[in-house]
Amino acid sequence: MTQAPVWDYSSAPESAKVEIRPRYGLFIDGRWMDGRAGKHFPSVDPTSEQQLCQVTEATGAEIDKAFEAARRALRRWSRTPGRERGKFLFRIARRIQERARELAVLESRDSGKPIRESRDFDIPQVAQHFFHHAGWCDKLRYALPGVSDPRPVGVCAQIIPWNFPLLMAAWKLAPALACGNTCVLKPAETTPLTALRLAEILDECELPRGVVNIVTGGPETGRAMVEHPGFDKIAFTGSTEVGKAILRACAERPVRLTMELGGKSPNIVFADAPIDQAIEGIVEGIWFNQGQVCCAGSRLLVEESVLGEVVAKVRLRMERLRVGDPLDKNTDVGPINSAVQRDRVKRYLRIGVDEGATLHECGTSALPDRGYFCRPAFFTEVQPSATIAREEIFGPVLAVMSFRTPDEALLRANNTPYGLSAGVWTNKGSKILEIARSLKAGVVWCNGFNLFDAASPFGGFKESGFGREGGRHGLREYLSH
Amino acid sequence: MQRLPVVKTHKLFIGGAFPRTESGRSTALKGASNGVIAHLCRASRKDLRQAVEAARAALPAWSRAAPYLRGQILYRFAEMLEGRAAELASALRATSSRSAASTQREVRASIDRLVSMAGWSDKLAMVLGGQNPVAGPYYTFTTPEPVGVCVTIAESSSPLLAFVSLAAPALVAGNTVVAIACERHPLAALLLAESAPTSDLPAGVLNLLTGELAELMPHLASHRDVDAIVAAVPARHAPALRCGAAENLKRVRLVDPGANFEQEEPWSGASAFDGLVELKTIWHPMSA
What digits encode the pLDDT tens for the residues B251-284? 999 999 999 999 998 999 999 999 999 999 999 9
How long a stretch of residues is chain A? Answer: 481
How confident is the prediction along chain A (481 residues), in pLDDT tens digits per residue?
556 666 778 889 888 889 999 999 999 999 999 876 679 999 999 999 999 999 999 999 999 999 999 999 999 999 999 999 999 999 999 999 999 999 999 999 999 999 999 999 999 999 999 999 999 999 999 999 999 999 999 999 999 999 999 999 999 999 999 999 999 999 999 999 999 999 999 999 999 999 999 999 999 999 999 999 999 999 999 999 999 999 999 999 999 999 999 999 999 999 999 999 999 999 999 999 999 999 999 999 999 999 999 999 999 999 999 999 999 999 999 999 999 999 999 999 999 999 999 999 987 678 899 999 999 999 999 999 999 999 999 999 999 999 999 999 999 999 999 999 999 999 999 999 999 999 999 999 999 999 999 999 999 999 999 999 999 999 999 999 7
Among the listed residues A57, A189, A260, A284, the single catalytic one is A260
* Sequence letter at residue B160: L
What is the ipTM metric for this complex?
0.96
Residue B247 domain-assigned (yes or no):
yes
User: Is pLDDT above 70 for B112?
Assistant: yes
Question: Cα angle vertex A377, ends A371, A378, to 5°?
Answer: 160
| Residue from the list A145, A251, A433 with its beta carbon closest to the beta carbon of B128 | A145
Per-residue exposure over A199-235, b if at least 16 CB sit within 10 Å of its own CB, e if not: bebbeebebebbbbbbbbbeeebbbbbbebebbbbbb
Q: E strand or H helix at A50, and its extent?
A: none
User: Tell me, what's the pLDDT at A15?
Assistant: 84
Q: How far apart are CA A109 and CA A106, in angstroms?
A: 5
Which residue range forms the structural domain that includes residue B126? 9-285
Q: Which pLDDT does position B66 carry in this prediction?
A: 98
The CATH number for B20's domain is 3.40.605.10
* Dihedral, A429, A432, A438, A444 alpha carbons, nearest 10: -130
Does a structural domain hold residue B118?
Answer: yes
Is the preceding omega at residue A376 within 30 degrees of 0, hence cis? no
Residue B137 DSSP SS3: coil
Residue B227 maps to a domain: yes
Q: Looking at beta carbons, which residues of chain B come within 8 Å of A461?
A: 278, 280
Chain B: closest CA distance from residue A255 (Å): 10
pLDDT at B287: 86
**Is B4 within a domain?**
no
> Would you call B284 and A429 a contact, using CB atoms and an 8 Å cutoff?
yes
| Nearest Cα residue in chain B from A442 | B280
Q: Per-residue pLDDT averaged across B50-77, rounded?
A: 98
Distance, in Å, from the CA atom of B139 to the CA atom of B136, rounded to the nearest integer, reads 9
- For residue B2, being part of any structural domain is answered with no
CA distance B40 to chain A (A): 32
The closest of B271, B236, B230 to B250, measured between CA atoms, is B230
**Number of folded domains that form chain B:** 1
- Is residue B1 one of the residues assigned to a domain? no
Burial of B108 (0-12, 13-18, 19+ CB in 10 A): middle
* Phi, psi of B43, deg, nearest 5: -65, 145
Residue B3 covered by a domain: no
Show residues of chain B in contact with A458, CB under 8 Å. 281
pLDDT score of A59: 94
The confidence score (pLDDT) of residue A4 equals 66
A19 as an active site residue: the answer is no
Taking the C-alpha atoms of residue A114 and residue A330, their distance in angstroms, rounded to an integer, is 9
What does DSSP assign to residue A364? Answer: S
Give which of A392, A458, A373, A34 is closest to A241, Cα–Cα.
Answer: A392
- pTM (2 d.p.): 0.96
Q: What is the spatial distance between Cα A457 and Cα A451, in angstroms, rounded to a whole number?
A: 11
Catalytic residue among A137, A156, A179, A294: A294
Q: At what angle do helices B238-248 and B213-222 cross, to 10 degrees?
A: 30
β-bridge mates for residue A237, sequence order = A260
- Dihedral through CA A24, CA A28, CA A32, CA A35, nearest 10? -60
Query: Which of B243, B278, B284 is closest, CB to CB, to A461?
Result: B278
Strand partners, B179: B152, B208
A chain contacts of residue B255, beta-carbon cutoff 8 Å: none
H-helix segments, A38-112: 60-79, 82-98, 100-111
CA distance between the termini of chain B: 88
Q: Most A CBs within 10 Å: which of B139, B143, B217, B283, as the mutation test of the A interface?
A: B283
CA dist list (Å): A297 to A258, A392, A420 = 23, 11, 10
Q: Taking the C-alpha atoms of B167, B169, B175 and B177 in order, what is their torsion angle to the nearest 10 degrees?
A: 0
Say if CB A463 and CB B249 are below 8 A apart.
yes
